[in-house]
Structure formats: structure tokens, C-alpha cells
Amino acid sequence: MDSIQIKGGRTLTGETRIQGSKNATLPILASTILIPGISVITHCPRISDVETMVRLLSSIGCSIEWNADELVIDATDVREYRLPREDVVRMRSSIMLMGAMLGRMGETALDYPGGCVIGKRPIDLHLMALRRLGAVVEETEQKIHAKASRLIGTAVRLPINSVGATENCILGAVLAEGVTILSNAAMEPEITALCEFLQSAGASIEGAGTSQITILGVPQLHSTVYEIPGDRIVAGTYLFAGVICGGKITLRDIPVSHMSATIRTARRLHGDVRITGNIMEIERRGKIEGIPLIRTGNYPGFPTDMQSALMVACAVASGKSVIEETIFENRYRIARELCRMGAAIEIQDGKAYIDGDASLHGTQVIAEELRGGAALVLAGLAADQVTNVMNRHFIERGYENICKDLRELGADISYR
Ligand code: EPZ
């Protein structure tokens, strides 16, 4: 079966380590195409999105091998510019390969990666940035074909600070001729990680993590070794598990500096969060309390990827809460499943209105995407009786082993 079974209603005790960040790993893997040599990526999460990216890199000529959580990529002989449809459409981050392939090979052809249930996920800003750098991008109904003998550095301004478009522009600019000044850039920690990786390979980049990034094109990059930072969303998911279920848990390898808004929100819910270095202790004694209004936002705001987990916490917290999702147009989807478990949630005028104090009861629920699926697991932990979360493959896109991790924290949970 493609499901996860949870026997809920237990407080949590125990400790677990946090995997490497999916959203740092994917653009970094794409950027290894720019290096005519070996890239060694350590603390790499073994998740299905990474396996998809590995297949895409192999399809253009990279040779890749795993050694435990270390990925060794040799991009010396990249030669094929056409990307295979089945993997491109499986994962939106395949679009990240455009900037790297244009920078290294001068050509790329791929299908539109497509959207998902949380939103249309357009790529107009990616194509705008690469065209600004001099790429000739032809679009047909299904496909994109882009060419550039050499990309040329220039000023690029993003109308919205898209994470992916920021990353694609950086990847196109790193080997371009001249200077690229990218303004209104996204400031997420994953951008900083990508720039750190590229700088370790000889790229000249300033301003990573700010809204203005300056890239001076260099003739060539060289082999490098890089450790992926902890996944701030996986860490946030387990932090919220502790806040929702009560008890006392410890999380290790936490990227604390990337999690201020998430930690602040857990404390607003009256979770007791104690930090020592990269170790986080979460203890929740009494009831948790709802939050009158909280909006998701670009970094360093409250992450949209944590919004579904927050909805579960507010459903069981005392009092009313209102959540406003500002990044994706369709990201309240788990509300319907939570209501089937006994929550009281209404979506109106782009906001989720949550009456707290729900006593969730176990049932079968359907995951439709990654973070909503993980949030349904949290709901199962809080619910009495048994919850079966169907379509666990969505969760496995971003969580290496959510059952092992939560079992280490004291949950009664297993794959079915
Ligand atoms: C990244 O997606 C993350 N994915 C998402 O995580 C995350 O939710 C998102 O950033 C926001 O933080 C990865 O890093 C692999 P955006 P991305 O471009 O880059 C609009 C997860 O669960 N937009 O910042 O696709 C877009 O529609 C995933 O791990 C355009 O209009 O996000 C959205 O409304 C989910 N045109 C907004 O910008 C474009 O060309 C932000 O999207 C690009 C984006």
C-alpha cells in the first residue's frame, strides 16, 4: 500500500536528527552541471525528488554515485541538451536545469514542468531572467528550447522575489560574460546555500541572502565538496509535532538561524522551545493557544511550506485562529481532510478561519501534495484511534523517512 498508519493520541518523547535540506539540495545538484569536474555533496537527503534530479543529470551525461548520504557527481562530459519528459514533468525543480545547461552547454530543451495542486506554478520569471541574460528561448505548446552561445551579464529585476527564478538567474550568470545585478531577489536560506556552494567552486557572487545579488561571470568553475544544511521545513514539521502532541522531544542538526519565524510561531502557540547550539528541545505541558492572525511570507517571514502544519496546530489549539496564505493560490487543501477528522475550518476571502479545541478522530485521509501530506501525519498523531494517510509517495518527495523519525520521537507510526 502507498500509505502511512498512525495510532494517535500519544505524547511524544525521544530524539531524532534532521536530514539535509531538499530545497537546498535540488538547485545545488542542478548547478553541478556548471563544473567540468567532480562535486561531492554530503548530508544529501535520499528522497525521491533528489533521485529524480539524479536521473535528469545522468540523462545529459553526468556520472553519479551515492556513498551513504554523500553524492559524487562528475559533470566533466555533459553533452545531451534534451531532457527526458517523464522526469521533467515529475518535478517542478527540473526548470532549474535551464540556467545551468545554458551556462555550461549553451543549449537546453525540456517540457513545461507543469503545476501542482497548490498552484499553477508558472515559470515566466525564469524565462524572463534567462532572456535578459541573452538566451533565445522558443516556446511551443508543450516544450521550451533555449540557446545561447554565451550568456551576457546584465541587470535583472524580478517583479516578485521568486525563489526558483532567483536560483535560475544565478545559475545562468555564474559563467556569463560580465556582471549580473539581480534585484528583488529571494532571500531564502536555500539561495545562500546555493551561492556558498558555487563560491566554493570558484564563482564570484556577492549579496547572497539579500534582495540584491551581484554575480561576476568567471571563465570556469572547479571541483568542490559541500555539506547540505539541515532541512528547516522537516525540522519545523517535527517541532510542530512536539507542540501539537505534548511531551518532550529533542531535535539535532537543526538549522536554527533559518527558523526564527517558525520558532517564534511555535512559542506563540505556547510550545516551550529551548535552543542549545544546533539542538532544539521542545516541551509542551498545558494546552496550546491559537493565533489571532498569521500570514505566510517570503523569508524571513513565516514559511508557506509550514502553513499546513500550522493549520493542524491551530485546529487543536484553544481559541480561534486565522491563517492567511500569501504565496500560493491554492494551499488550504488539507482543510477539507482535517474537517473530516473533526476540525472546524472555513476558507473565506483567501483566509482560513479556524475554531480551535477540536478533538480529532482517526480516519482515512488523502494526501495530495508534499507538505499537506506531512501535516496530515501530524493530525494523525493528535487524533485518537487510527489514521491512514494515503498517497505517501507525496511525503517521500521531501522526507527521507518520516516514520523512522517520528518513531524515534515516540510515535506509533508505520508504512503500509
Ligand atoms: C520554492 O518553490 C520551493 N521549492 C517551495 O517549496 C516553496 O514553497 C517556494 O519556493 C516558496 O518559498 C523548491 O525550492 C524546490 P517561487 P518555487 O518561485 O521556487 C510565483 C516544498 O514543499 N511565480 O518562490 O517554485 C509562484 O506562482 C516546495 O518544498 C511566478 O508567478 O517558488 C508563487 O505564487 C513547495 N512566476 C510565487 O511566485 C515564476 O516564474 C512564489 O513562487 C515563478 C514563480
Kindly state the cell numbers that stand for 221. 568553475
Among 44, 62, 116, 169, the active-site one is 116
In the chain, the percentage of residues whose pLDDT exceeds 70 is 100
Q: 189-206: per-residue pLDDT in tens?
A: 999 999 999 999 999 999
User: Which residues are paired to 324 by β-bridges?
Assistant: 295, 351
Closest-lying ligand 1 atom to the alpha carbon of residue 398: 29
Question: Cβ(123) to ligand 1 under 6 A?
Answer: yes
Mutate to test the pocket of ligand 1, among 93, 120, 121 (most ligand atoms within 8 A of CB): 121
Question: Can 62 be counted among the known catalytic residues?
Answer: no
Ligand 1 center from residue 327 Cα (angstroms): 8
Ligand 1 atom 4, closest CA = 23
Half-sphere exposure of 241 (CA within 13 A, CB side): 36
Compute the residue count for the chain: 416
Kindly state the cell numbers that stand for 166. 532567483
Residues 409, 339: contact at Cβ < 8 Å? no
Q: What is the pLDDT of residue 188?
A: 98
Q: What is the pLDDT of residue 114?
A: 77
Kindly state the cell numbers that stand for 236. 519545523
Enumerate domains of the chain plus CATH numbers. 3-19+231-415 (3.65.10.10), 22-227 (3.65.10.10)
User: Which residues are paired to 147 by β-bridges?
Assistant: 107, 136
Give the CA distances from residue 21 to residues 26, 43, 193, 293, 348, in Å, rounded to whole numbers and listed in that order. Answer: 9, 9, 10, 28, 33
Q: Is the full-model pTM beyond 0.95? A: yes
Closest-lying ligand 1 atom to the alpha carbon of residue 304: 8
Phi, psi of 172 (to 5 degrees): -75, -30
Ligand 1 center from residue 244 Cα (angstroms): 27
Ligand 1 center from residue 26 Cα (angstroms): 13
The distance in angstroms from the start CA to the end CA of the chain is 5
Q: 44-80: per-residue pLDDT in tens?
A: 999 999 999 999 999 999 999 999 999 999 999 999 9
Q: 102-157: per-residue pLDDT in tens?
A: 999 999 999 999 778 899 899 999 999 999 999 999 999 899 999 999 999 999 99
In this predicted structure, the answer to whether residue 222 has a pLDDT above a threshold of 80 is yes
